[in-house]
Structure 1
């Protein structure tokens, strides 16, 4: 396996590993996002077994030991499996997440105490980069789920939203909703609940210019329209 590095916006880098053995023949991508600033932030750590690959990718851009913030969508191996490996490597690094994640899991799982974030709280990491935390309970799954919005670039770090198969381009202006619907039909990974559509439409209200997907290409274009269409599909599923 190889982890590729692509700058999807100024100072925001996609670190992507395609695993052909998962869901063949298309395979499946695992993406992390490194935001370079005075206090660099890594969104997703990858699983523990991918730690050497992700660390090497980060090293192409900065000293991994200088990482300051570690965060992710929810508590799951591919999102935060290497959390403690990063904490051991980077002495100033701290995990940051919402209250539910901290109370339920991270206060115990993280080798250093995490920073607990309120819904809407902003981490100013310097260099004109500001990450706003957004509670998204059960969206797409996980009680403790939450996402981050980089305010300067208009980039929404989407976690598992829009999950799709394959190893597409790093950045696309094409359709990400259709492939996400197909993947949901296959995996059935989302926690369908009455609040799902409303939660996603709240994200659409941000009018993001870029959507950084964990499993799939990043998207550049009308992020609000893509999120609204995804919310409509979940509404359809819940109405059955």
Structure 2
């Protein structure tokens, strides 16, 4: 395996590792490096991927420059190597929503995490990362997303997951591929507030969707998120 590096928005790098054994078509595990005065890594990856992903980060900047490490929810492919990153970057701090810090990260992280309230902005210096609580969307009551306000990039976590090893970034339909993947995995939590949470993200009108699994998307991010909301609402009604 290898971890490939592509810049998908200004100062935002997609670090992608394709694992062919996951699903018949394979599966990408993507992290995102946000280059700023205080650089941030969004998604840590599994512990086994740390050597590959840290080598990829080092192609853009020294790993020890990292100041923040974040992820969408507490799960091995998002947070498994969290403490390896903290060891490699002595000034780095894990950052997440209040719920994740209270129920998991205050205990799991080797250094105290920074908890963010819903809507709070983390200023990286040149990039502004707004935290948005999305409980149970796509899954996990501590789930959330970051929205980078300067470039209009939404870091979506597992939202709009799709399989295969597609292009780093696309303007083609991602909703259809995401629906097909969810019908395979059944990973979306169909909670009463799922549609409203997705519509709240759509209201941001993001220009780039940084997806954890599959291509990132450049285009009408609001339409893709509204389509996902409608899909969840139809599934819940059924």
TM-score interval, smaller chain: over 0.9
Q: Paired residue for 2:193?
A: 195
Partner in structure 2 of residue 170 of structure 1: 168
Out of 120, 126, 129, which is 2:127 matched to? 129
CA–CA separation in structure 2 for the residues paired with 1:191 and 1:204: 18
Q: Does 1:16 align with 2:16?
A: yes
The answer for unaligned runs of 5 or more in structure 1 is none
Aligned residue number for residue 136 of structure 2 = 138
Where structure 2 has 5 or more consecutive residues not aligned to the other structure, the ranges are none
Other-structure match for 1:35 = 34
Mapped to 2, the partners of 1:234 and 1:119 lie a distance apart of 23
2:152 is the counterpart of 1:150: no
TM-score (norm 2): 0.99
Instruction: Give the Cα separation in 2 of the matches to 1:216 and 1:162.
Output: 8
Residues 47-62 of structure 1: pairs in structure 2 closer than 5 A = 47-62=46-61
Q: RMSD value over aligned CA atoms?
A: 0.5
Give the match for residue 105 of structure 1. 104
Name the CA distance, whole Å, in 1 between partners of 2:187 and 2:224: 19
Shift of 1:66: 1.1
User: How far apart are residue 10 of structure 1 and its match?
Assistant: 1.1
What is the total number of aligned residue pairs between the two structures? 238
Compute the TM-score of the two structures, normalised by the length of structure 1. Answer: 0.99
Where 1:7 maps in the other structure, the secondary structure is strand
Per-residue displacement from partner, 1:30-78 (whole Å, max 9, x unpaired)? 0000000110000001000000000000000000011000000000000
